[in-house]
Amino acid sequence: MKTEDLISSPDFWNDSERSQKVMQDRKRLEQAVEDDRLISGRVSDIETLFELGRAREAEPYAKECLALTEATLGPDHPDAVQLRRQLATAK
């Protein structure tokens, strides 16, 4: 059952402990999606700078974005892998 369907069911709020957990999970997932969108946009901008030969300008942004990506999405996320690759080839 989809979260939205679950939340809209009449009995959902009867179990306050369960409903609180579902809402916390929903909020966590929504934040993860937003973080992923934000980071993906930044990674795209950083890649463009590297492609334009502006590695010196891109490097501090890439390092900052890599730290954020690893902290929020994990070190194995494709964006983290791409940023590490870009930083390694820039040196």
2-17 pLDDT, tens per residue? Answer: 888 888 888 888 989 9
Asked if pLDDT for residue 1 goes beyond 80, the answer is no
Contacts of residue 43, Cβ cutoff 8 Å, sequence gap at least 6? 65, 69, 79, 82, 83
pTM: 0.69
Asked if pLDDT for residue 73 goes beyond 90, the answer is no
